[in-house]
């Protein structure tokens, strides 16, 4: 992996983890997590994220889920809430 790519990935990971840390989600006692997942999936995720530790990878993946943008879900929930006769200056 190129050094430039590694810097980008490290900055992205740092941003995600700093955000969940600021929300207090990394505080307290750690919980054990066990799962059976495809070796190929884990390998590709490690490769793409630049994370070599499985524990760090799982923590990062969970953080990404927590921070996932739910714009689409919110937009769909608004369907039908705008009056049909509203005048738009388009």
Residue 66: both structure tokens together: 């927590």
- Please name which of 70, 73, 50 lies closest in space to residue 60, comparing C-alpha atoms: 50
Distance CA 79, CA 4 (A): 43
The predicted pLDDT at position 73 comes to: 86
The predicted pLDDT at position 70 comes to: 83
Other C-beta atoms closer than 10 Å to the C-beta of 65 total 8
Residue 74: both structure tokens together: 């919110």
List, for residues 7-57, the tens digit of each pLDDT value. Answer: 999 999 999 999 999 999 999 999 999 999 999 999 999 999 999 999 999
Residue 89: both structure tokens together: 């200056």
Distance CA 57, CA 88 (A): 46
The whole-model pTM stands at: 0.74
Return the H-helix or E-strand segment holding 77: helix 71-77
Distance CA 33, CA 23 (A): 21
Is the pLDDT at 68 greater than 80? The verdict is yes
């Amino acid at each position: 992996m190129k050094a430039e790519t590694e810097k980008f990935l490290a900055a992205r990971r740092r941003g995600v983890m700093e955000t969940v840390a600021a929300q207090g989600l990394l505080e307290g006692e750690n919980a054990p997590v066990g799962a059976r997942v495809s070796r190929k999936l884990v390998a590709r995720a490690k490769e793409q994220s630049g994370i070599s530790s499985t524990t760090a990878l799982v923590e990062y993946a969970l953080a990404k889920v927590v921070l996932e943008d739910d714009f689409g879900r919110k937009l769909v929930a608004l369907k039908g809430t705008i009056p049909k006769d509203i005048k738009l200056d388009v």
